[in-house]
Amino acid sequence: MRLVESVLVDLDDTVWYDRRYFGALRRALLVECKDEVDRRALAKLLDGSVQLSIGECGFVSSIREVARTRLSAAVERIESAIADFQKHPIEILPGARQSLELLTREWPVIAYSAGKQAEQTAKVQRAGLSHLFSKVVVVEKKNPDSLMDVLGQMGMTPERTLMIGNSLVADVQPAVAVGCNVIWLDHDENGNGRSGILPPQAMRANGWEEISELIRRTFEPSHHGGSQ
């Protein structure tokens, strides 16, 4: 068994579904703007924005930039599609809530995300998960340096930290690079998270039930009692 003192958990497409709403807004814009612009050209622009933007605020900013420069005639319809997007429900991945509840019995669980602090904290509250996270940490961009900064600030050591995340590039590779224990969460809607290479040091789980099982078999708390 490996000793672990704390658990970092990614949020978007790890705890709740995220990119499905980006896809819904993309489809809405293609319909709304079909008379103003060539569909293929707009699809290409939007796909670039989906790939590059960090968080919902980032995606909305890049859509507004496309609207301002290319689609000024459709700005009102675009704003209305953006408003719908910003009101989307928070749908938690199957088994995530139960697994997080179990994890908090043994370890402090820290939400670790990229984007804007206010956006991610608000989503944790809307999801009704605030009580499960001892902290919500949001960095501008996830990489080995930002991860080491966070671990250092929280007095955590990589070898006693477990990272759980859906993205090979944003979650798994940086955490492996600094020496954390890592579980890659794959699932049916993890299209973006799969681009990249799974390092041999990381474990793979298909869904949260497998994560719970993997943790039970592999990790134990290095002290008794968690954050609860």
Site string for Mg ion, 12-51 (x = CB under 5 A): xxx-------------------------------------
Q: 3-state DSSP: the chain helix, strand, coil percent, rounded to 5?
A: 55, 15, 30
Candidates 99, 104, 166, 192; binder of Mg ion (CB under 5 A) is: 166
CB nearer to Mg ion: give 67 or 176: 176
* Amino acid identity for residue 39 in this structure: R
| Residue sitting closest to Mg ion (CB) | 12
Segment lying near Mg ion (by CB under 5 A), choices 51-59, 125-133, 158-166, 178-186: 158-166
Segment lying near Mg ion (by CB under 5 A), choices 5-13, 32-40, 57-65, 149-157: 5-13
Distance of alpha carbon 60 from alpha carbon 46, whole angstroms: 11
- Binding of Mg ion by 56 (CB under 5 A): no
Burial 12-38 (b: 16+ CB within 10 A, else e): bbbbbbbbebbeebbebbeebbeeebe
Say if residues 92 and 16 touch (Cβ distance below 8 Å): yes
Binding site for Mg ion (CB under 5 A): 10, 12-14, 166-167
